[in-house]
Structure 1
Amino acid sequence: MGVNSKIKNVYSCDGNLLLIIKLLVRQPCEISTSQRENIFHTRCKILEQICPLIIDSGSRSNCCSTRLVAKLGLTIIPHPKLYKLQLLNEKKDIVVNQQVKVKFSIGNYKDNVLYDIVLMEVCHTLIGRS
């Protein structure tokens, strides 16, 4: 019809991101029915820095990137129970042996989450279901 409308991304936290995410180039393929569709991307504030955040109801872990911990100088806590993760990067299993407690906000919502520290390039924080 004759109406022009623009779609605009609306984030609860605006501003420059603490990290520029690497873009991955993939060839198009058929969508698998096993792919989860309940992944939510947004931004949050951690120590007044804007950070990408993924909420994934299919994940059972709360993960924080090693890069975020290093850039913000967060206090590392030894993990009480070591375990291995797969499929977060191109390497084999990742041994998770550290945690960090992070205060973050999304708009007016504020929370304090205990994250497992892992090497990941997708975002700074990934929140799964508890």
Structure 2
Amino acid sequence: MKKSWLSMADGHPDAALADLFPGHSKARVFVSHPWRELLVGVLRRLGTSRDLTWYLGFNNRGGTLDIFGMLFANRCTWAHVLVTAAQAMGVPAASSLTEAELAAMGDEATRKCFATCQRPFDWKVERYNE
């Protein structure tokens, strides 16, 4: 029987988890659709420390009629994830976002710049190999 990724954190040995979450990668940001408190409990074993592990998810801020509005209200847009990752890594958020994007994070009137922004992603993804 195939296990879900949620049960993996509780039921797999450390070696299996180390392949997915290598020890040299201390900063971790987990993003989910349901309540983030669920992630804290279920994925506790995958976290590194209180300062380096962040959980983003539903936080009961609604009142929107579109998907992007829900993401913005619950602080789960791509920009919020980048700022959270920067905080976890101890680098300035300005290293990942423009001034306009940073300003829009707290401004309901300009939040649509996140929804319409077509940023080029040139990140290099390196696989962890032992």
Which structure is higher in RCO with an 8 Å CA cutoff and minimum separation 6? 1
Question: TM over 0.5, yes or no?
Answer: no
Greater strand share, 1 or 2? 1
- TM-score range (shorter-chain normalised) is under 0.3
Q: TM-score normalised to the size of structure 2?
A: 0.26
